[in-house]
Structure 1
């Protein structure tokens, strides 16, 4: 996606042509001048960590205010973007559980009173901006809750069966319900619905200074809608950061900055069980090299709200190797994700439709994420945005050892990891003196000397003198 950096003068002149209903709005000029001086920068894409905020479960209170107090802690973890799960009122009709799903929205312009007030949201955004952190709202464009205001006012905005009844989302492969019975499927053939959806999105950018959106089930919404919506939003504020819950290149080509690396996530789960190998990792990385444009970004993760609640905790899925697999998500070109509670080594599946809470005791995993965040923020060799650092494959003598370099300009890092449950001794074709950036120790490597690695052990090494990485480069040019 090409970003459009607009001066205030251009913003002011274009605000009047934005595609949303301004009948109840104060003048756009006054709104533009009243905003904070915070500006999302593409450097945040290069060196940032994204944090998924589950307001309900983040604290015992489950409020915006309780979360806002911890924003300085998240900054310690290298967080540059907050992705806040839906903040909107939850539909009561067909609700699942006693509190319902965040994704069954009843009004896109209101705030869930369970979490607090609109002023609390504005305070959260203000504090985040003061700490140099962008705020991205989780948006649900594919469906609404059953008592959304549109249901009775505009039933034609929804998908209907042959009896004229509004239906929940249908699996096109089977013609049957996905089981999302607490939501009603929106009809994107209706242009008026598209217009109002863009109006609601625009409201949050213009009135409340949000910095972008994470689009839920983006692969189920027509791509032309997103193209028009993002173009309209960036007439109000530019640049914005747009995340698609999909792994789909046509979305990236039409305004999105980042999408989910679902294939890598599933591969990491399989590697953790030793069902897939280092060779499979390189095969997938080569596939990304062929399919991703230079300015496309993958979001890498070992957990998120869906994975934690439905697939299992890190302890269940990655019982012996969460450290090495988490570290790998930071070492790849792209952006790593932290989910609420992950930093505190969350060891339970958070309830999705009821109140729950995460632990708040810092341990070794928190310290690992803190060090990785510092590296991501400060080392050019870990840049992962539109001007990614190179990733250089380095052959090891054992196929279960993953070794690669990251390099940009004068900065280099070397990753060596044992992706097996056995002690392995290996050699790599490099010699030199290094600094272990995680432990602070000096390390010497010789291409003639074997390196012992315990099960799932890994190193991130910074060379003391510049190395000649002379093998295949991913995802930039290939040097044979």
Structure 2
């Protein structure tokens, strides 16, 4: 099965924590729901939102060792008390990133259940993204007993825990040794097995297995003697191996430390854009503008998000006006647009990665209505295939604004039928105004109508004024106010 979205488009990815999602669906249905029995209504809703890919996080089989550690860790138990006060031991499942086998959890319906869900989603034009965790496996993964030579061992001979060089080790995992050719070969085969079940993968902490990063992290633990060492980069080898069988397979890297561009050059279609998340959450309009000045190819390959499973719920940390502005920008700039399950409804409690359910929360109807308007706008083809450029605001309040436009980019000789879009955001905590000259071809010498897709308001304007560098589009917006103008002749 090939990728469902052409590479030049800017797809919408909807991320779901599978065990929590199935629990919610089971509670609503008053019966056990597996991947094979997800109601059609739930899939139809994803299609109606314009979703291109669903990231099903945590489908793989976990081990008992991980669950045991999740039950006994005092810090985790304190987390459970905080996020799910009525939790019981039956709710504890273990981390989805301590994988014991790359086989779908039997409790979710196994590989057959996933295949059935994939077929039903594909009928709606939606592909499936699954997790691949390259750096480590569960401590009771079958390789620990079958292939102990693949791991970095401690002084006692047992595998060391997987780690990131900047944070404490993950005690429920066993660290693979990517300096060894045999480890890389085994990981490539595991990845090929994952690829046979889905349309793409999200590679957890992908930068950890870059050759120089890995060797630096484990420099005090030399590789096993008399074992052939690997050369080159694992990701180049792995991506080529998968794409020999699946040419349109999508690779997404979770990445940090300014290594995103390097991973893109190794073949990743998309890399997580944590920098934009940080700027939208904590920084100013000028910081956001600076980030959006990156090269078009880098932006097109970036995953734009404002919350995900490792970050707090955005509704819990930002006031509604700034949250809406941040979510609007993340959804309307180039790249893969990322929505986290529960974000649309304004949930405030981040689910624990170690629990099988999350607390029930009421739907924030205003938040849901905003997202439905936003995603309706994002479905416009011009936001998938158009030409993006930032715009420069002028005037005393200009520094508060982020502005950009999308223009049609038709094939040679094709008519320019799609209306351009102009996004204007006052990304500041007070009311402000500015003027923005629009470098949009075809509006000079004409009367145009600015139709705001977020409010429904319409504003007639003179095209000559809009393109004039000394005049431009005049706007005044409240704190974190938004315009998304469709320019109609």
| Residues 1:281 and 2:252 aligned together | no
Cα distance, 1:163 vs structure 2: 4.1
Q: Deviations over 1:327-352 (max 9, x none)?
A: 10122111210111112211212122
Name the counterpart of 1:159. 152
User: How far apart, in 1, do the equivalents of 2:206 and 2:366 lie?
Assistant: 36
Q: Deviations over 1:413-463 (max 9, x none)?
A: 111111122222333335953111123221245648853312211110011
Cα distance, 1:408 vs structure 2: 2.7
Name the counterpart of 1:198. 188
- Give the secondary-structure state (helix, strand or coil) at the position aligned to 2:436: coil
Q: Point out where structure 2 has 5 or more consecutive residues left out of the alignment.
A: 27-32, 72-91, 212-232, 410-415, 439-446, 466-470
Q: Deviations over 1:200-237 (max 9, x none)?
A: 2222333x3x1111100000013621211111111212
Match of residue 172, structure 2, among 170, 182, 192: 182
Alpha-carbon spacing, 1:301–1:295, altered in 2? closer, same or farther (3 Å) = closer
User: How far apart, in 2, do the equivalents of 1:128 and 1:42 lie?
Assistant: 13
Name the counterpart of 1:460. 484
Match of residue 211, structure 1, among 182, 187, 199: 199
Alpha-carbon spacing, 1:449–1:298, altered in 2? closer, same or farther (3 Å) = closer
Query: Do the aligned partners of 1:53 and 1:83 also contact (CA within 8 Å) in 2?
Result: yes
State the number of aligned residues: 407
Name the counterpart of 2:428. 420
Q: Deviations over 1:154-212 (max 9, x none)?
A: 11111123443311124446xxx624111111111232222222222222333x3x111
Q: Deviations over 1:108-137 (max 9, x none)?
A: 1x2223323222111111111000111111
| Residues 1:54 and 2:62 aligned together | no
Cα distance, 1:323 vs structure 2: 1.2
Alpha-carbon spacing, 1:183–1:294, altered in 2? closer, same or farther (3 Å) = closer
User: How far apart, in 1, do the equivalents of 2:59 and 2:172 lie?
Assistant: 17
Name the counterpart of 1:379. 381
Name the counterpart of 2:95. 101
- Give the secondary-structure state (helix, strand or coil) at the position aligned to 1:463: strand
Name the counterpart of 2:390. 392
Match of residue 301, structure 1, among 305, 310, 318: 305
Alpha-carbon spacing, 1:322–1:183, altered in 2? closer, same or farther (3 Å) = same
User: How far apart, in 2, do the equivalents of 1:297 and 1:90 lie?
Assistant: 31
When the two structures are superposed, what TM-score results if normalisation uses the length of structure 2?
Answer: 0.77
Cα distance, 1:44 vs structure 2: 6.3
Query: Do the aligned partners of 2:281 and 2:318 also contact (CA within 8 Å) in 1?
Result: yes
- Give the secondary-structure state (helix, strand or coil) at the position aligned to 1:264: helix
| Matched ranges for 1:321-470 at <5 A | 321-357=322-358, 361=363, 363-380=365-382, 382-383=383-384, 389-397=387-395, 398=397, 399-409=399-409, 410=416, 411-429=419-437, 432-444=448-460, 447=471, 451-465=475-489
What is the alpha-carbon root mean square deviation over aligned residues? 2.5
Query: Do the aligned partners of 2:99 and 2:138 also contact (CA within 8 Å) in 1?
Result: yes
- Give the secondary-structure state (helix, strand or coil) at the position aligned to 1:259: strand
Task: Say which is worse superposed, 160-169 or 328-337, in terms of deviation.
Answer: 160-169
User: How far apart, in 1, do the equivalents of 2:344 and 2:281 lie?
Assistant: 19
| Residues 1:129 and 2:136 aligned together | no
Task: Say which is worse superposed, 436-445 or 63-72, in terms of deviation.
Answer: 63-72
- Give the secondary-structure state (helix, strand or coil) at the position aligned to 1:304: coil
- Give the secondary-structure state (helix, strand or coil) at the position aligned to 1:327: helix
Alpha-carbon spacing, 1:304–1:449, altered in 2? closer, same or farther (3 Å) = closer
User: How far apart, in 1, do the equivalents of 2:3 and 2:137 lie?
Assistant: 29
User: How far apart, in 1, do the equivalents of 2:278 and 2:339 lie?
Assistant: 17
When the two structures are superposed, what TM-score results if normalisation uses the length of structure 1?
Answer: 0.78
Cα distance, 1:294 vs structure 2: 6.2
Kindly indicate whether structure 1 or structure 2 has the higher relative contact order, using CA contacts under 8 Å at least 6 residues apart. 1
Alpha-carbon spacing, 1:191–1:85, altered in 2? closer, same or farther (3 Å) = same
Task: Say which is worse superposed, 406-415 or 179-188, in terms of deviation.
Answer: 406-415
Query: Do the aligned partners of 2:285 and 2:428 also contact (CA within 8 Å) in 1?
Result: no
Query: Do the aligned partners of 1:63 and 1:116 also contact (CA within 8 Å) in 2?
Result: yes
User: How far apart, in 2, do the equivalents of 1:79 and 1:63 lie?
Assistant: 21
Alpha-carbon spacing, 1:267–1:125, altered in 2? closer, same or farther (3 Å) = same
Cα distance, 1:355 vs structure 2: 2.6
Q: Point out where structure 1 has 5 or more consecutive residues left out of the alignment.
A: 1-37, 271-275, 466-480
Cα distance, 1:318 vs structure 2: 4.5
Cα distance, 1:79 vs structure 2: 0.6
User: How far apart, in 2, do the equivalents of 1:238 and 1:295 lie?
Assistant: 22
Cα distance, 1:360 vs structure 2: 7.8
